[in-house]
Amino acid sequence: MSFWDAPAVRGPLDAVVVVPGSKSITNRALVLAALARTPSRIFGALRSRDTDLMLDALRQLGAGVEIGDDGTTVDVAPAPLRGGSVDVGLAGTVMRFLPPVAALAEGPVRFDGDEQARARPLGTILNALRDLGVTVDGDGLPFTVRGAGAVRGGEVAIDASASSQFVSGLLLSGARYDEGLAVRHVGGPLPSAPHIDMTVEMLAASGVRVEQPERHMWRIPPASFSGREWHVEPDLSNAGPFLAAAAVAGGQVRVPSWPQSTTQAGDQIRHILASMGATVRWEDGWLTVNGSGELTGIDIDLGEIGELTPTVAALAALASSPSSLRGITHLRGHETDRLAALSSQINALGGHCVELDDGLSITPKALRGGPWKAFADHRMATAGAIIGLKIPGVRVDDVDCTSKTLPGFADLWAQMCATASDGA
């Protein structure tokens, strides 16, 4: 494995960064399109490893999928679902959204993925399907969903404290079940709630009514829904490291097509950067971050926006005062144990990061260059890039893992850095 030397800059940035489409929106739109009665067209779809895995999986299950010449327009023609084999890679959306879809297939669907994926929690979704009358072999990857062409449906209680994707995965297919579906969360704090809001909003746009009689209960009556056109927003979480770069290096980074309102959790990065000392402005669809290169620490509950944790942790390691990042126990079950990974890598560069029961405590110390392990986790790789802006000699061991959600990250990062006044 080759190391990537994270560019360090010595002057302020002046960059415009065009961020590809949202993975979360793209993969939800693909699932809804495959389950609809009529064809759909998706504009601005993200093309990355995670979304290509979803495209390939839906083809395996029988959907017609055609990619336009621009690479980001996708036509989906629904068809009767059939058995097959699904490679989930390391994509949480694929491994958690598609088992409830596979339950509707005529025939068994076998799921497997990357070695790291076998450690990711899946029992919640598989046991929920069993409770709904679906036969499932196995409790984690590899497993097989023995589709019978229909699912009884009804009410199911789950503990989704490890991932909101368990709720979203069930809701996306629930309208196709004979009795519809009611999902009740009965566990600890529910993380990443904005992602459930996104699912509910996209179902509504498809004509599926989601009732929420209680805070942690969602009910969907049986329904069929038509295909439609989807227009995918930029991935705001993927924009986070680029905007953070302005705060770290100084200068300005601008991202076009930033929605005025959105259910994407990544939108919160603008408020976090403002709290840490940057100036943030939205105007006419452009989000602009101006920074001085000086950061203050932050005390924040990231429970609903856990995907931003690696970016915030990198900023905190470069700040002038301590930070406390809370409410993120569930990150131990992501692509890697992100709390352990962040702590180990910040400390390996001379920092002081302590794992808490539900987060991280980061006390700034002088950092030094050195290797940064990504653990095959795209957000760990981008966190190393952020620190490398300020600390020369940071070398990320697997920057190519960013292709999971942002192909070409290293080139985009280099282009941004080249706008620094020192010409880096």
Alpha carbon distance 174, 153 (integer Å): 7
305 DSSP assignment: G
> Do residues 237 and 266 lie in contact, with contact meaning Cβ atoms separated by under 8 Å?
yes
Quick check: is 307 catalytic? yes
Q: What is the DSSP string of 114-135?
A: -TGGGGS--HHHHHHHHHTT-E
Residue of 233, 304, 307, 335 marked catalytic? 307
Tell me whether residue 165 is annotated as binding. yes
CB under 8 Å to 400, separation ≥6 — which residues?
Answer: 410
Tell me whether residue 130 is annotated as binding. no
From the list 121, 204, 209, the residue with the least C-alpha distance to 165 is 121
Tell me whether residue 133 is annotated as binding. no
Q: Using DSSP, state whether 343 is helix, strand or coil.
A: helix
Tell me whether residue 71 is annotated as binding. no
Tell me whether residue 184 is annotated as binding. no
Phi-psi region of 137 (alpha: psi -120 to 50; beta: other; left: phi over 0): beta
Q: What is the DSSP string of 360-422?
A: EEEE------EEE--TT-HHHHHHHHHHHHHSTTEEETTGGGGGGT-TTHHHHHHHHHTTSTT
Cα-based distances in Å from 116 to 119, 120, 232: 6, 7, 29
Alpha carbon distance 130, 326 (integer Å): 34
The token pair that represents 47 in the structure block: 């093309």
Element (H, E) at 358: none
Neighbours of 224 (CB within 10 A): 12
> Do residues 192 and 304 lie in contact, with contact meaning Cβ atoms separated by under 8 Å?
yes
CB under 8 Å to 252, separation ≥6 — which residues?
Answer: 12, 13, 14, 15, 246, 288, 289, 290, 291
Alpha carbon distance 4, 48 (integer Å): 20
From the list 311, 318, 297, the residue with the least C-alpha distance to 390 is 318
Task: List the end-to-end C-alpha distance of the chain, in Å, as a whole number.
Answer: 25
Tell me whether residue 23 is annotated as binding. yes
Tell me whether residue 192 is annotated as binding. yes
Tell me whether residue 163 is annotated as binding. yes
Alpha carbon distance 4, 378 (integer Å): 14
Q: Using DSSP, state whether 221 is helix, strand or coil.
A: coil
Tell me whether residue 92 is annotated as binding. yes
Tell me whether residue 303 is annotated as binding. no
Which residues are annotated as catalytic?
Answer: 307
Residues that constitute the known binding site for phosphoenolpyruvate: 23, 92, 120, 165, 338, 379, 404
Residues that constitute the known binding site for 3-phosphoshikimate: 23-24, 28, 163-165, 192, 307, 334
Residues that constitute the known binding site: 23-24, 28, 92, 120, 163-165, 192, 307, 334, 338, 379, 404
